[in-house]
DNA sequence: TCTATGATCGTA
DNA sequence: ACGATCATAGAG
């Protein structure tokens, strides 16, 4: 496909354009709908990790009983209450990290959980981090097909909480010349005990890289 | 302090 | 279907 020379110019990662702050200063629902088909990047040392986002979930602030922000600000969820465009990472079940994109203006505690990506770059390192110790490689579909899995694969943990997604460590990007997905699947959110009725999970319907 | 629970994952 | 495993939040 031919590149439009009047459009956004490619950044250092190639023909990808980092999403601007304005992308995140919207409701979590609006951001969540737009994320499937976009790309997650992480620079760690000399390794570049990349994945195509295939599954996300929207969480609102104090009006969503499933949200960590439902009962107000705490030390854990405070980055959710900040301006959109930062990463909210939390630890759960005693062993897993999950990462969210914070959305909305300061004071609006919305966030979008990234649940699965299709691994595209850094796959050797992902396999190393995700191996059960026996050094064998996993099926590419099992590398990032869940919120805990993708954080492990990308090396996202406590230290990454609050990272500015408009910086050069972890960021989201659009691929030049690529159209939005034709169809986006919707369903109830997974693994929650309240707020079950809303269809706030968004995914690409035709990939094998979503969670189960 | 003490206790219940969890935006999960791998194995059985 | 279940256990691992522990930070967090809310209660006492």
Q: Which positions of strand C lie within 7 Å of protein CB atoms?
A: 4-10
Phi, psi of A119 (to 5 degrees): -65, 135
In a domain, A145, yes or no: yes
Mean pLDDT of A54-81: 97
Protein A91 CA to nucleic acid B6 C1', in Å?
10
Q: What is the pLDDT of residues A3-39, one digit of tens each?
A: 444 445 444 445 999 999 999 999 999 999 999 999 9
In a domain, A211, yes or no: no
Q: What is the pLDDT of residues A162-198, one digit of tens each?
A: 999 999 999 999 999 999 999 999 999 999 999 999 9
In a domain, A84, yes or no: yes
**Does the nearest atom of strand C lie within 7 Å of A93's Cβ?**
yes
The pLDDT assigned to A14 comes to: 53
The number of domains in chain A is: 1
Q: Which of A9-18, A108-117, A135-144, A190-199 has the lowest mean pLDDT?
A: A9-18
The residue with greater pLDDT, A201 or A8, is: A201
The pLDDT assigned to A13 comes to: 46
Band (A132; pLDDT cuts 50, 70, 90) = low
- 3-state SS class at A174: strand
The pLDDT assigned to A138 comes to: 84
**Does the nearest atom of strand C lie within 7 Å of A95's Cβ?**
yes
CATH of the domain at A121: 3.10.300.10
- 3-state SS class at A27: coil
How far is CA A98 from its chain centroid? 9
Distances (CA, A) of A42 to A1, A91, A95: 26, 19, 21
Give chain A's length.
Answer: 212
Task: Please check whether residue A102 is in contact with residue A86, taking contact to mean a CB–CB distance below 8 angstroms.
Answer: yes
Distances (CA, A) of A210 to A19, A56, A77, A116: 23, 9, 26, 6
Protein A93 CA to nucleic acid B6 C1', in Å?
6
Protein A175 CA to nucleic acid C11 C1', in Å?
50
In a domain, A165, yes or no: yes
Q: Distance between CA A113 and CA A97 in Å, rounded?
A: 11
In a domain, A88, yes or no: yes
Band (A137; pLDDT cuts 50, 70, 90) = confident
Task: Please check whether residue A192 is in contact with residue A135, taking contact to mean a CB–CB distance below 8 angstroms.
Answer: no
Conformational region of residue A107, where left means phi above 0, alpha means psi within -120 to 50, and beta covers everything else: left
Which class for A46: exposed (0-12), middle (13-18), buried (19 or more C-beta within 10 A)? exposed
Protein A187 CA to nucleic acid C8 C1', in Å?
28
Percent share of chain A, pLDDT over 90: 89
Domain span at residue A66?
16-203
Protein A178 CA to nucleic acid B11 C1', in Å?
40
**Does the nearest atom of strand C lie within 7 Å of A94's Cβ?**
yes
- Assess whether pLDDT exceeds 80 at residue A108: yes
In a domain, A73, yes or no: yes
Helix, strand, coil % over all residues of chain A, rounded to 5? 15, 30, 55
Residues engaging strand B (CB under 7 angstroms): A 57, 59, 66-69, 80, 88, 92-96, 98, 100, 111, 113, 130, 132, 142, 146-150, 189-193, 211
The pLDDT assigned to A5 comes to: 44
Angle at CA A182, nearest 5°, toward A88 and A14? Answer: 60
In a domain, A163, yes or no: yes
In a domain, A170, yes or no: yes
């Amino acid at each position: 496909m031919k590149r439009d020379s009047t459009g956004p110019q490619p950044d250092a990662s190639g023909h990808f354009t980092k999403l601007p702050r304005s992308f995140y200063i919207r409701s979590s629902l609006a951001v969540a709908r737009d994320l499937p088909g976009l790309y997650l990047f992480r620079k760690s040392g000399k390794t570049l990790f990349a994945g195509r986002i295939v599954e996300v979930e929207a969480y609102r602030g104090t009006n969503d009983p499933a949200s960590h922000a439902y009962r107000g600000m705490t030390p854990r969820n405070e980055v959710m209450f900040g301006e959109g465009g930062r990463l909210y990472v939390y630890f759960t079940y005693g062993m897993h990290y999950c990462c969210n994109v914070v959305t909305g203006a300061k004071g609006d505690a919305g966030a979008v959980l990234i649940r699965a990506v299709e691994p595209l770059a850094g796959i050797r390192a992902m396999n190393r981090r995700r191996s059960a110790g026996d050094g064998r490689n996993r099926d590419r579909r099992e590398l990032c097909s869940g919120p805990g899995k993708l954080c492990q694969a990308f090396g996202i943990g406590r230290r990454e909480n609050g990272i500015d997604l408009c910086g050069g460590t972890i960021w989201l990007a659009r691929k030049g010349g690529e159209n939005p997905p034709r169809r986006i699947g919707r369903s109830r959110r997974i693994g929650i005990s309240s707020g079950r009725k809303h269809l706030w999970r968004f995914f690409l319907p035709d990939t094998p890289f979503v969670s189960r």
